[in-house]
Structure 1
Amino acid sequence: MGLREIKKAKTRKLISDIARDLFIERGYEAVTIVEIAEKAEVAVTTLFNYFPTKESLIFDLEDEIDTDILEAIRSRKKGQSILDALHGYFLSSKLFNPPNKKTFSGFGKLIRSSTELSSYLRGLWGRYENTLAKEIQDDSGVNKLEAECLAKLLLEGVSYACNSTSPKETLNLTFKILKNGWNK
């Protein structure tokens, strides 16, 4: 990565971190784009060059997660199942190992407190489901409906685990049920 790309990445992260902290501190609706731009020392137009919407400010890792999910499948060990590869990816991801647990907890509360952010997140997960379903279908040869069903169940389970009181335990149970089925 060149110097210009490094500077852009730092600016993007700075803007997102400032927005996240302000949103957590005062609430999503109470913070303006102008305020975020001023605190980040960038023009509003510059902010919108990095983030097309106010909601996207808080989800700065959205493209990274989408790419990482696909990479987990594509780079899995020979003989490893797609479910095992995705289980390993999510178990080691920032979703289940946040660098700052207090900030991550505040982030979760923020999302749940805002209908706009909750809706935006649902849209993101929908995009992840589509991308994951296509990759599952292409990689395994299952039909489209089966791939879509698996992607939906898998990501709903991950989402549920993220919001659980025992995230890793719930994630492990989710993958156990998906892998072994539930026949009670």
Structure 2
Amino acid sequence: MTVELGLRERKKARTRQLLAETARRLFAERGFEAVSVAEIARAADVSEATVFNYFATKEDLVYHGMEAFEQELLDAVRTRPRGTSVLDAFAGFVTTPRGLLATDDPEAQEALLAISRVIATSPALRARERQILARYADSLAGVLAEETGAGPDDLRPRLVARTLIGLHAVLLDYVRSRLVDDDPDVRRLGQDVRREGERAVALLRTGLGDYPSA
């Protein structure tokens, strides 16, 4: 029974990956708004219902990895070394190259570059991203409130969380503006993101660097 379940889960994972890759290819070719879920289903040789079994919305075909990113971000804050501020733990996480900025595979770079441009030019995807970032902020605020024992009337966990997620959003916008406007040198872009992230953190450190106190 255990082996059967393992095979079933692997099959589901392959189908999920196929749908996401098919969608991203079509979005890169024609733009997010121009591609329907029915077209994605036909290209992947599945039913439209199957697509929605794996992805609740069309936007989730692009953002399906964001849940894992959220958990990694929260873990970076929860497991930071004693004496390390939330700001420093968060900054270390968001300025670490990942995805497009962390691979040397030309094909992977091209695919990630294409989807970054799709997101940058799609109002629907940008709106969905704002919703996801708002959820990140709520989750991070919950972690900070639990850690500090803050009550429901204490605004500081929410203020700090929204400020930090705002930093992350600004860095995303910076990367996308470079990808859309330039023919990017990915390695240099990664270095520039880290530099700009560190400058932004330096600006915040005066106000947030000791929060919460160890």
Q: Same fold (TM over 0.5)?
A: yes
TM-score by length of 1: 0.87
**Partner residue of 1:149?**
159
Q: Distance in 2 between matches of 1:14 and 1:71?
A: 29
TM-score by length of 2: 0.76
Q: Distance in 2 between matches of 1:96 and 1:174?
A: 21
Whose radius of gyration is greater, 1 or 2?
Answer: 2
Summarize the alignment of residues 1-184 of structure 1 with structure 2, pairs less than 5 Å apart. Answer: 2-92=6-96, 94=98, 97-99=101-103, 100-142=108-150, 144-164=154-174, 165=178, 166-181=192-207
Greater Cα offset, 130-139 or 82-91: 82-91
Unaligned runs of 5+ in 2: 179-191, 209-214
Q: Distance in 2 between matches of 1:93 and 1:133?
A: 24
**Matched-pair identity in %:** 32
Shift in Å, 1:98 = 4.5
Q: Distance in 2 between matches of 1:95 and 1:83?
A: 22
Q: Distance in 1 between matches of 2:59 and 2:160?
A: 28
| CA RMSD, 1 decimal | 2.2
Letter matched to residue 130 of structure 1: D
Unaligned runs of 5+ in 1: none
- 3-state SS of the aligned residue for 2:95? helix
Greater Cα offset, 124-133 or 151-160: 151-160
Shift in Å, 1:93 = 5.2
Which structure is richer in relative contact order (CA contacts within 8 A, separation 6 or more)? Answer: 2
> How many residues align structurally?
182
